[in-house]
């Protein structure tokens, strides 16, 4: 576990009781709980108080060598105030009324994510915006913060481990491509959560934490 703690430490951020990110200078607690929930969100804009989560996905992994997968879930989320959306954000997410016909309500989506990973440490790629929306979503649906009091930014681990020449920039798609990761899609929440998880596995291998993530 000490090796896993050391591997995760560059990405660890402390959270407030409601899930909000604390300043980077705030000393975080231990990084390695029993599980990581690697998440990705697509939103209708950048402001958590004005805009909405419109797609959410998560991959649950055991905190152990090779971070074996334990489950996943994702869904498009039905927006209630599409009129306030940022059109550029909708374009990035691929939003279209027809494509969102089977989308689920926000409360159902958040409950499913909580059921998947209650108590787990949230992890993601460049997590500031995702964490802000997760904390706001918990507030909106009236659920006390159901995850660990720390989060992990896998992008920061990549910055520590990948050498100049490995990658030219640290966006998720570029890093995944350079590490030879085939992706399910781009800017779909579950697809991006899996891409982030797969990058985590590659980084763990590079850090000597194990090989394939079997059960």
pLDDT in the model for residue 214: 39
Q: Is residue 211 part of a domain?
A: no
Q: Is residue 214 part of a domain?
A: no
Q: Is residue 213 part of a domain?
A: no
The whole-model pTM stands at: 0.93
Q: Is residue 215 part of a domain?
A: no
Q: Is residue 33 part of a domain?
A: yes
Q: Is residue 7 part of a domain?
A: yes
215: pLDDT confidence band, cut at 50, 70 and 90?
Answer: very low
**pLDDT tens for residues 146-201?**
999 999 999 999 999 998 888 999 999 999 999 999 766 666 899 999 999 999 99
Query: Does 88 have pLDDT greater than 90?
Result: yes
**pLDDT tens for residues 31-44?**
668 999 999 999 99
Number of folded domains that form the chain: 1
Q: Is residue 200 part of a domain?
A: yes
pLDDT in the model for residue 213: 40
Q: Is residue 72 part of a domain?
A: yes
CATH of residue 99:
3.30.420.10
30: pLDDT confidence band, cut at 50, 70 and 90?
Answer: low
Secondary structure string (H, E, C) spanning the chain: CHHHHHHHHHHEEEECCCCCECCCCCCCCCCCCCEEEEEEEEECCCCCCCCCEEEEEEEEEECCCCCCEEEEEEEEECCCCHHHCCHHHHHHHCCCCCCCCCCECHHHHHHHHHHHHCCCEEEECCCHHHHHHHHHHHHHHCCCCCCCCEEEEHHHHHHHHCCECCECCCCHHHHHHHCCCCCCCCCCHHHHHHHHHHHHHHHHHHCCCCCCCCC
Residue numbers of the domain that contains 180: 2-206
């Amino acid at each position: 576990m000490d090796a896993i703690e050391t591997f995760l430490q560059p990405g660890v951020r402390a959270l407030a009781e409601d899930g909000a990110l604390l300043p980077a200078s705030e000393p975080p607690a231990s990084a390695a709980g029993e599980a990581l929930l690697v998440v990705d969100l697509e939103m209708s804009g950048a402001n958590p108080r004005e805009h909405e989560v419109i797609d959410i996905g998560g991959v649950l992994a055991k905190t152990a060598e090779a971070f074996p997968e334990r489950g996943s879930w994702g869904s498009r989320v039905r927006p209630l105030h599409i009129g306030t959306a940022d059109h550029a954000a909708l374009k990035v997410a691929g939003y279209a009324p027809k494509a969102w016909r089977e989308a689920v309500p926000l409360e159902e989506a958040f409950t499913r994510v909580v059921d998947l990973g209650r108590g787990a440490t949230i992890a993601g790629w460049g997590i500031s915006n995702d964490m802000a929306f997760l904390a706001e979503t918990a507030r909106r649906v009236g659920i006390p913060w159901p995850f660990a009091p720390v989060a992990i930014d896998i992008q920061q681990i990549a910055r520590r481990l990948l050498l100049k020449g490995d990658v030219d920039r640290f966006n998720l798609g570029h890093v995944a491509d350079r590490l030879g990761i085939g992706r399910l899609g781009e800017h779909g929440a579950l697809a991006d959560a899996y891409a982030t998880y797969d990058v985590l596995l590659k980084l763990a291998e590079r850090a000597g934490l194990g090989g394939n993530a079997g059960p």
